[in-house]
Amino acid sequence: QKGGYKHFMLKEIFEQPKVITDCLAGRVDWNRMEVTLPELAALPVPKRLHIVACGTSYHAGMWGKHLLESWARVPVNVEIASEFRYRDIILDPADMVLVISQSGETADTLAALRIAREHGVKVAGLCNVVGSSIAREADAVIYTQAGPEISVASTKAMCSQMVLLTLMALHWGRNTGALSETVRANVLQTLKKLPGQLETVLPAMRDEAQVLARTYSKAKSFFYLGRGHCFPLALEGALKLKEISYIHAEGYASGEMKHGPIALIDPDFPTFALALNDELFPKVKSNIEEVQARRGKIIALTNPGVELKVDHPWSIPDAWGPMAAFLVLPALQLFSYETADYLGKDVDQPRNLAKSVTVE
Ligand code: F6R
């Protein structure tokens, strides 16, 4: 069942190239370089999109906001379902709520969907489980086609949600006329080669993760830093580390460090920085230097040719714009996986956690 892998989590991380291929199948016409999402055809482009989800699915939503706002110019509000449901929320009939849920059964997310429908707002669901409650109750459902996810820690499901959010941004960007031809071509060309690229790099990524995991497994706490679309990935990296290795980890927007958390930095409190070769790199670099000035150790996920002096630079291949996230995500997942496995934790069944949270 585990296909020769030690744990389901590892198998599911390595399934991501196939997940990307499956999510794109039938949705991208590669000859005409066009995206078709028939699931959304009956719904107009929303005036404002409210993305509501929990945990890892919430992080996918936060990441998707960057693309949807930039490429489709649709304003996006991303909210944790357990907050959304108890807030005096302002919804306009021209808005749309997008609930993201791998299981389609998360109690808070389902409650948010019902609230939105009571307000007369259209609800689209991004779900992995066919026929789940959220899939049944949403006005439109887009299946993420990641296949069953057995490990409690969500990995490939997030990857699939990110592919679909990318396609939604392209689809709406076309409809609103906001999307430039260049961006569309860059995104689609990147997506096309991504499965092959990922397939090639995953084994080496795992080796690197293993070495780093051994070096850092004694840490009691970790910071994860990122900016822009890498901020939600930093949150996700921290969530993965704490849930399976039980090492305390906090994800932070790099620029927020100096507003308090940097006080915690000392030689025993390492930082995992997302320092890709993009337009925010100079800013991230200066945040890293602030941490180093407090003698904090740094692992930096970065790209070839980047000038950065840190304890452990971890170079991953380049990918265009926010599509780089598809290479960052498995690196974060593998680092957590290897740390938890090295520490002898029950990777697939972490303590106190359930795969689907059907209670509030
Ligand atoms: C973390 C994890 C959880 C889920 C969350 C939402 O690895 O798996 O944070 O992402 O419970 O679950 P779904 O997506 O099923 O609504």
57 vs 350, residue with greater confidence? 57
Nearest CA to ligand 1 atom 4: 55
| Owner of token pair 């990935």 | 233
Which pLDDT score is estimated for 4?
Answer: 95
Write b or e for each residue in 55-74: b if 16 or more Cβ atoms lie within 10 A of its Cβ, otherwise e.
bbbbbbbbbbbbbbebbbeb
Whole-number pLDDT of residue 255: 95
Catalytic residues, by residue number, are 355
The CA R_g of the chain, rounded to the nearest whole Å, is 20
ipTM for the whole complex:
0.99
Give me the numbers of helices (H) and strands (E) for the chain, helices first please.
11, 12
pLDDT digits (tens, 9 = 90+) for 131-182: 999 999 999 999 999 999 999 999 999 999 999 999 999 999 999 999 999 9
Average pLDDT over residues 205-230: 97
Question: pLDDT tens digits, residue range 262-294?
Answer: 999 999 999 999 999 999 999 999 999 999 999
Q: What is the mean pLDDT of residues 188-206?
A: 98
**In the chain, what percentage of residues exceed pLDDT 70?**
100
Do residues 188 and 28 touch, judged by C-beta distance below 8 A? yes
Task: Compute the mean pLDDT over every residue in the chain, rounded to the nearest whole number.
Answer: 96
Q: In this predicted structure, what is the pLDDT of residue 359? A: 86
Q: What is the mean pLDDT of residues 3-23?
A: 97
Which atom of ligand 1 lies at the shortest distance from residue 109's CA? 16
pLDDT-derived band at 104 (thresholds 50, 70, 90) equals very high
Give the residue ranges of DSSP H helices in the chain: 8-14, 16-24, 55-67, 81-84, 107-118, 133-137, 156-176, 181-216, 230-245, 281-293, 325-342
* Ligand 1 interacting residues, C-beta cut-off 6 A: 54-57, 101-103, 106, 109, 153-154, 239, 243, 356-357
Pocket residue to mutate for ligand 1, from 85, 98, 149, 154, most atoms within 8 A of Cβ: 154
Residue 358 reports pLDDT greater than 90: no
Crossing angle between the packed helical segments 156-176 and 16-24, to the nearest 10 degrees: 30
Q: What is the 3-state secondary structure (H, E, C) of 9-45?
A: HHHHHHCHHHHHHHHHCCCEECCCCEECCHHHCCCCC
Q: What are the angstrom distances between the C-alpha of 259 and each of 39, 57, 238, 263, 317?
A: 43, 27, 19, 9, 32
| Average pLDDT value for residue range 290-319 | 96
Contact 167, 151 (CB under 8 A): no
Please compute the mean of the pLDDT values over residues 15-30 and round it to a whole number: 97
- Residue 224 near residue 270, CB atoms below 8 Å: no
pLDDT at 355 over 90: no
- Give 360's pLDDT tier (boundaries 50, 70, 90): confident
Q: Tell me the three state secondary structure of residue 300.
A: strand
Q: What is the pLDDT of residue 354?
A: 86
41-76 pLDDT tens trace: 999 999 999 999 999 999 999 999 999 999 999 999
The letter for the amino acid at 228 is G
Whether residue 1 has pLDDT greater than 90: no
Q: Which atom of ligand 1 is nearest to the CA of 103?
A: 15
Q: Residue 22 C-alpha to ligand 1 middle, in angstroms?
A: 21
